[in-house]
């Protein structure tokens, strides 16, 4: 998979050369290129932002440098990923979908976002996904881009030594993962749950499933009952 990242802070993406994404790169599964948006500016101050039409706080990223940048790095048929707190949530299913693409281009916006026409223009020739990594606001898309690339890279075929280990993780089956333990069997007076030492694989699987269901219900009732996560009542007074 090829990944291009456009940002005004190229150094922020340095961790892509390390750890997991770096391992995928060394294995020849991932080819990452980071670009400085300001190289597509033409004024002395290398301006990338301006005040918003209609007023309001903050600055908006100008369409011209983004247009030129995407003309250069987004080929027809590639997938443009725009990290944004107003995007679709990054879930395991979306990470898996993106892992099936040949070429991702990530456009990291700063300030209040990128002029919306940039996304509309790109959508005439490429798939565009605005993606949120969570219901909180970051200062820009760079940290979100790191999250998205890591979630996708580890799903690339051939990346995981044992692909079966992916199947038991949190979120693969809609449940959080059960608690895990390793040696010693007693530590600071705390015992490992005895069923895990029993050698009874059926009993172990049943215990793990029960723990996963209990954890999910306690910590993430929205996963346990997705239909209840947002109801029309929640939106009353906002529409």
| Residues lying near ligand ADE in the complex (CB under 6 A) | 83-85, 132-134, 136-138, 140-141, 144
Q: Is 60 annotated as a binding residue?
A: no
Q: Is 192 annotated as a binding residue?
A: no
CB of 157 to ligand ADE, least distance (A): 26
CB of 110 to ligand ADE, least distance (A): 9
Q: Is 133 annotated as a binding residue?
A: yes
CB of 153 to ligand ADE, least distance (A): 17
Q: Is 138 annotated as a binding residue?
A: yes
By beta-carbon proximity to ligand ADE, the closer residue of 23 and 62 is 62
Q: Is 178 annotated as a binding residue?
A: no
Residue by residue, DSSP assigns the chain as: -EEEEEES-GGGGGGGGSHHHHHHHHTTS-EEEEEEGGGG--STT---EEPPTT--SS-EE-HHHHHHHHHHH--TT-EEEEEEEEEEE--HHHHHHHHT-SEEEEE--BTT-B-HHHHHHHTTTSEEEEEESSSS--SBSHHHHHHHHHHHHTTSTTTSSSTHHHHTSTTTSSSPPPP---S-SEETTEEPPGGGGS--HHHHHHHHHHHHHHHHHHH-HHHHSGGGSS-HHHHTTT-
By beta-carbon proximity to ligand ADE, the closer residue of 88 and 172 is 88
CB of 7 to ligand ADE, least distance (A): 12
By beta-carbon proximity to ligand ADE, the closer residue of 137 and 235 is 137
By beta-carbon proximity to ligand ADE, the closer residue of 53 and 136 is 136
Binding residues for S-adenosyl-L-methionine: 109, 133-138
């Amino acid at each position: 998979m090829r990944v291009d990242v456009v940002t005004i802070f190229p150094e922020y993406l340095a961790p892509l050369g390390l750890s997991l994404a770096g391992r995928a790169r060394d294995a020849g599964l991932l080819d990452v290129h980071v670009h400085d948006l300001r190289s597509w500016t033409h004024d002395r101050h290398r301006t990338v932002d301006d005040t918003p039409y209609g007023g309001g706080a903050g600055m908006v990223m100008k369409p011209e440098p983004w247009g030129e940048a995407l003309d250069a790095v987004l080929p027809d048929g590639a997938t443009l990923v725009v990290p944004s707190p107003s995007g679709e949530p990054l879930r395991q299913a979306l990470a898996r979908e993106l892992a099936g693409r040949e070429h991702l281009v990530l456009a990291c916006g700063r300030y209040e976002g990128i002029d919306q026409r940039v996304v509309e223009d790109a959508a005439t020739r490429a798939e565009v996904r605005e993606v949120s990594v969570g219901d909180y606001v970051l200062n820009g898309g760079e940290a979100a881009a790191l999250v998205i690339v890591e979630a996708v890279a580890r799903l690339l075929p051939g990346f995981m030594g044992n692909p079966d280990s992916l199947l038991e993780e949190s979120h693969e089956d809609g449940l959080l993962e059960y608690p895990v333990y390793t040696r010693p069997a007693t530590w600071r007076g705390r015992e490992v749950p005895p069923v895990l030492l029993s050698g009874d694989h059926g009993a172990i699987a049943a215990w793990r499933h029960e723990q996963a269901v209990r954890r999910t219900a306690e910590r993430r009732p929205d996963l346990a009952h997705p239909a209840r996560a947002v109801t029309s009542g929640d939106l009353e007074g906002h529409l």
